[in-house]
Amino acid sequence: MAAGWRLFRRVAGRSRGVTAHFGVLALTSAALVTPAGVATPAHAEPDSADGGAVSERTVGWETYRQLDELTRSRGSERTRQFSSFARDGSNDDGFAGTYSCLRTTSEGCVIAERAGAGEIASIWFTREPLGDVTATGNITVELDGKTVLDAPLSDVVSGRIGAPFVWPLVGNADDTEGGAVIKVPMPYRESMRITVDDNPYFYHVDHRVFPDAEDVSTFDPTDPASDVVRKLRRFGIDDPKPPAPTAEVAREDFSLEPGESEQLATLRGPASIDELRLRIPQVAASPRVVDDGRAFGAGGGSEFRAAVAPNNEGVRITRRFDPQIGHQTATMLVDGQPAGEWRSGPAVAGQWGTQNIEVPERMTEGKSSLRITNRFVSSELDFNEFRYEVHSLVDGEWVRTDVLNLGPTHPGEEQAHDYSITNQVFERDKLVSRYPTPPEKVAASDEVLRSTRLRITFDGHTTVDAPIGEFFGSGLGEYDVRRMMSSIDAGSGGWYTSWWPMPFNRTATVELVNTGDVPIERATLEAGSVPSERVGPGTGRGYFHATHKRGATVQGEDWNFLTARGSGTFYGVTHSMRGRIPPHGKERTTEPLSSRDHAMANIRNYLEGDERFYVNGSSSPSWHGTGSEDFYESGWYFRSGTTYSMPLAGNPAYERYGDGCKYDCTGAYRLMIPDAVPFSDGIVAGIEHGPSNNEPGLYSSTAYWYGGLPSGTERTDRIDLADRSSRAKHSYKAGGEKVETLTSTFVGLRDPEPLTRETTTASGRVGFEVDISESNNGVRLRRLSDQAQSHQKVRVRVDGKTVGTWLQPLGNRSHRWLQDGFDIPPAMTAGKSSIRVELVPVGNGPDWSASRYTVFSHK
């Protein structure tokens, strides 16, 4: 039951620069309910008669700067992926490097190339040994004919070449536990190509595709983007959206019996839920923690800089350490002044230890950062440190304001905090230990996080319905989560926080439903809101959705994170994988490199599954990855289970034979902020479980996306080249044409059955006429073709004017059918009801293949 509510105005909140009346009203009614399934996303009532999609493109660094614009439609923009996935459908996604080069030139191995405007959004690599990419050599990025990056890949991902290629916009195998990432957005107007010196084995390149170069400036490698770097280094601590003057905050203290629901806040719009916070003090942090650390000996010490709230009333420093070394004592100084002493006491083996030092307000008042110094006093051996958390006391409550995860596998965090150590006598890459939490308390806590559902209803439609643990970032228990759009401050009554912008027009209600067996006691929810533009059909802005799914994996079927209709943008997922592979079952023989350290069954073989995303009804995936831990931007089974967190991807939870995990369980997240996947007519986004969807598991996932908008395209024509009447109707002509019958399949499972039909190749010019909507906002041509020959390339002309180059670097002789597309900008199609398209061969490449063209008009 609710214990009363408070409404207050928070200064230094947020604003969208829109003046609108809104208010907040918290309700205190409770009702018995039965567990409900995930609500089907529905269109809200339109507040405008206009149905057309409106979009304003955010490009380059603005993608990170304008996170309040996540809700905006992407229009006709697309996101696609180049990767080393096995073209033959096997699990050889890079082990042998068979498919790792699109082509090889005198400069090296080309891994991505495109003609037209777009943006390189995300790059990931791994290879043996355990993600060290030194042997890949240099990476060269060419944009619009200019080289913007040419340096050793290992130097780039380690931050050694300098801003903007610094942590956490880059990360090496230590930062990501097995991967190497580049998150620097690199836009281009005309062309891009990425080349590496030597075969990279495993890689992904996610890139945005724009219909034109409007508002696109070529990436400038001399721009350090210091504000973006500062923002990303505060991931999971600060709200990453732009600042604003005020926010209205509703606060509710409540308890919730099993079977009860509580509507904890009702907000009136037009407004946007800007921050959502939840605290349940009875929930205990999961006891199993994997961490790395360092130790200093006599005469030594350590220093780092920590952020605090300027309006603090004191600061608390928490140290995680290994207590098997007894009587560790060190003096802690704040800005050079003694502030306390660490004393560990007698040695205790087999568990983690934590200690707190509270620094009085007189030493911290008005400061935004502190210099923390630890000096060795005494110990039975040394003084070790694995992690420091910093909480500021604000308005009588402890708020997390910084975290330093130190150690050899956290080089980026150490550098960002200006960490140093003297007389180091020990470092450890991986220590697996536990907190002494009773098993029954762990089980009860896991039940609360798994069975308490957050439901948010916007303008009468429930679009958020997910367990609270997974919504905020961890589906396996209360593990510490720090990521760009949400966080979990595990233990000691810490807050769970979400910063996803959630706009609405009239009303929004926030509800919790206890579908489990454990009562919730003395909990608190806060919902902050700010003025916002209107949302829904006709506005170009979608409603926020969190779509949850839980169940057993099905043999031969992908685990679908999201299946949605209409238009929207998919921004990421929290994924909880509970493997059900018995440890002494039959031996797995997928790949010797990935299972070398397992004597019999590889109980982590479920991680061999690739992600596959299908958008706008296409039978070919726009994304096809190389493995589950690869999608989460790590590698090698997260280096055999080492946890990590970065702003956009992480593996915060790993359990094995305990804490509710029968065999092997992995909790991971991926936020696709720079490489979000827009769709104008539906999406199916999923991932395999095992190399061929063959491994048993109990999976759950919560997908984050914006939608509730009608389809942004309409099909206005189709040319079937196997139909003579269709050819004649569209005045189709092709020079040097050859016709053959092809029986083959598409990549993936969207259309798995073999398709037999006529296909053509043309060595000369191709021309045809097609109908389009007179009210179009651009046109997309979708081609069904034979991709046996890679690097097919033509120049596209519309009504006699060149509009761009259609290049398809992909090739596949095992699954030869391919659907790809080309967007014609609205400047060439506006007001027209038909157009004449010409495809002109470029260079000495292979003949142009086509079996069918489908024409879509953008609304």
Residue type for position 200:
P
Residue 63 lies in a domain: no
Three-class SS of residue 729?
Answer: helix
What local confidence, expressed as pLDDT, does residue 47 receive? 33
Alpha carbon distance 441, 445 (integer Å): 6
- Considering the domain architecture, whether residues 452 and 478 belong to the same structural domain is answered as yes
Residue 524 lies in a domain: yes
Residue type for position 338:
P
Alpha carbon distance 299, 316 (integer Å): 25
What local confidence, expressed as pLDDT, does residue 493 receive? 83
- Considering the domain architecture, whether residues 454 and 586 belong to the same structural domain is answered as yes
User: What confidence tier does 829 reach under pLDDT thresholds 50, 70, 90?
Assistant: very high
Query: Is the distance from CB of 570 to CB of 686 less than 8 angstroms?
Result: no
- Considering the domain architecture, whether residues 544 and 674 belong to the same structural domain is answered as yes
Is pLDDT at 628 greater than 90 in this prediction? yes
Is pLDDT at 8 greater than 80 in this prediction? no
- Considering the domain architecture, whether residues 391 and 493 belong to the same structural domain is answered as no
- Considering the domain architecture, whether residues 215 and 248 belong to the same structural domain is answered as no
Alpha carbon distance 57, 62 (integer Å): 9
Residue found by looking up tokens 């919504």 in the block? 471
Three-class SS of residue 755?
Answer: strand
- Reference 448, options 616, 697, 660; nearest CA is 660
Alpha carbon distance 796, 822 (integer Å): 9
Task: List C-alpha distances in Å: 379 to 337, 385, 407.
Answer: 22, 13, 20
Span of 46-50, 78-82, 144-148, 627-631 with lowest mean pLDDT:
46-50
Within 8 A by CB and 6+ apart from 77, the residues are 55, 57, 208, 209, 210, 211, 678
Three-class SS of residue 525?
Answer: strand
Tens digits of per-residue pLDDT, 319-374? 999 999 999 999 999 999 999 999 999 999 999 999 999 999 999 999 999 999 99
Residue 440 lies in a domain: no
Three-class SS of residue 467?
Answer: strand
Alpha carbon distance 728, 726 (integer Å): 5
User: What confidence tier does 48 reach under pLDDT thresholds 50, 70, 90?
Assistant: very low
Task: List C-alpha distances in Å: 488 to 167, 286, 415.
Answer: 22, 12, 23
Cis omega (within 30 of 0) for bond into 438: no
Last residue of a domain, one of 434, 463, 495: 434
- Considering the domain architecture, whether residues 704 and 738 belong to the same structural domain is answered as no
- Considering the domain architecture, whether residues 430 and 463 belong to the same structural domain is answered as no
Is pLDDT at 14 greater than 80 in this prediction? no
What local confidence, expressed as pLDDT, does residue 37 receive? 32
DSSP-derived secondary structure for 636-702: HHHHHH--EE-SSEEEEEEEEEETTEEEEEEEEEEE-STT-EEESS-EEEEE-SSTTS-S-EEEEEE
Alpha carbon distance 208, 297 (integer Å): 51
**Torsion-angle region of residue 725: left (phi > 0), alpha (psi -120 to 50) or beta?**
alpha
Within 8 A by CB and 6+ apart from 465, the residues are 36, 37, 38, 39, 453, 454, 455, 546, 547, 548
Mean pLDDT across the stretch 259-267? Answer: 96
Range of the domain at 771: 713-858
User: What confidence tier does 591 reach under pLDDT thresholds 50, 70, 90?
Assistant: very low
User: What confidence tier does 583 reach under pLDDT thresholds 50, 70, 90?
Assistant: confident
Mean pLDDT across the stretch 38-52? Answer: 33
Residue 385 lies in a domain: yes
Alpha helices in 424-494 (DSSP H): 439-451, 468-472
Query: Is the distance from CB of 234 to CB of 306 less than 8 angstroms?
Result: no
Tens digits of per-residue pLDDT, 70-113? 999 998 999 999 999 999 999 999 999 999 999 999 999 999 99
Mean pLDDT across the stretch 615-639? Answer: 97
Within 8 A by CB and 6+ apart from 438, the residues are none
Residue 230 lies in a domain: no
What's the number of CA atoms in the CB half-sphere (13 Å) around residue 562?
A: 33
Q: With the C-alpha atoms ordered 377, 374, 401, 315, is the resulting torsion angle positive or negative? A: positive
- Considering the domain architecture, whether residues 379 and 406 belong to the same structural domain is answered as yes
What local confidence, expressed as pLDDT, does residue 585 receive? 64
Mean pLDDT across the stretch 430-448? Answer: 95
CATH number at residue 631: 2.60.120.1390
- Considering the domain architecture, whether residues 691 and 717 belong to the same structural domain is answered as no
What's the number of CA atoms in the CB half-sphere (13 Å) around residue 731?
A: 10
Cis omega (within 30 of 0) for bond into 224: no
Q: Count the Cβ atoms, other than its own, within 10 Å of residue 587.
A: 11
Tens digits of per-residue pLDDT, 711-739? 999 999 999 999 999 999 999 999 999 99
Within 8 A by CB and 6+ apart from 835, the residues are 769, 770, 772, 779, 798, 799, 824, 828, 829
- Reference 182, options 214, 217, 136; nearest CA is 136
Residue 411 lies in a domain: yes
Last residue of a domain, one of 395, 413, 434: 434
Alpha carbon distance 189, 843 (integer Å): 21
- Considering the domain architecture, whether residues 211 and 78 belong to the same structural domain is answered as yes
- Reference 707, options 567, 547, 535; nearest CA is 567
The mean of the pLDDT values for the chain is: 91
Residue 61 lies in a domain: no
Is pLDDT at 494 greater than 80 in this prediction? yes
Q: What is the pTM of this model?
A: 0.93
What local confidence, expressed as pLDDT, does residue 588 receive? 53
Tens digits of per-residue pLDDT, 232-252? 999 999 999 998 767 899 999
Mean pLDDT across the stretch 35-49? Answer: 32
Mean pLDDT across the stretch 258-271? Answer: 96
Q: Count the Cβ atoms, other than its own, within 10 Å of residue 20.
A: 13
Tens digits of per-residue pLDDT, 745-760? 999 989 999 999 999 9
Residue found by looking up tokens 């308390």 in the block? 441
Domain count, the chain: 4
Is pLDDT at 590 greater than 60 in this prediction? no
What local confidence, expressed as pLDDT, does residue 40 receive? 32
Residue 88 buriedness (CB in 10 A; 0-12 / 13-18 / 19+): middle
Alpha carbon distance 607, 47 (integer Å): 45
Residue 766 buriedness (CB in 10 A; 0-12 / 13-18 / 19+): buried
CATH number at residue 407: 2.60.120.260
Q: Count the Cβ atoms, other than its own, within 10 Å of residue 724.
A: 10
- Considering the domain architecture, whether residues 662 and 800 belong to the same structural domain is answered as no
What local confidence, expressed as pLDDT, does residue 528 receive? 95
Is pLDDT at 38 greater than 70 in this prediction? no
What local confidence, expressed as pLDDT, does residue 596 receive? 41
What local confidence, expressed as pLDDT, does residue 483 receive? 97
| Phi, psi for residue 173 in degrees, rounded to 5 | -65, -25
- Percent of the chain having pLDDT more than 90? 89
Query: Is the distance from CB of 770 to CB of 835 less than 8 angstroms?
Result: yes
- Considering the domain architecture, whether residues 455 and 418 belong to the same structural domain is answered as no
Residue found by looking up tokens 């490097």 in the block? 97
What local confidence, expressed as pLDDT, does residue 375 receive? 98
Cis omega (within 30 of 0) for bond into 129: yes
Residue 229 lies in a domain: no
Alpha carbon distance 482, 484 (integer Å): 7
Tens digits of per-residue pLDDT, 272-318? 999 999 999 999 999 999 999 999 999 999 999 999 999 999 999 99
Last residue of a domain, one of 641, 676, 708: 708
